Amino acid sequence: MATYQLTVSDCWHIFVRLSIALIAGAIIGWERQVHHKPAGLRTHMLVSLGSALFTLIPLILSQRNSGVDGDVLSRVVQGITAGVGFLGAGEILRASSEDSQHIAIRGLTSAAAIWVSASLGSAAGCGLWQLTLIGAVLCFVVLSIVKRFE
| Residue ranges of domains in the chain | 42-63+74-150
Residue type, 127: G
| Residue of higher predicted confidence among 87 and 142 | 142
Maximal C-alpha separation, the chain? 58
pLDDT at 64 over 90: no
Q: Among candidates 25, 30, 148, which has minimal Cα distance to 87?
A: 25
Contacts of 144 (CB under 8 A, 6+ apart): 31
What's the pLDDT tens digit per position in 13-60?
A: 999 999 999 999 999 999 999 988 878 899 899 999 999 998 888 888
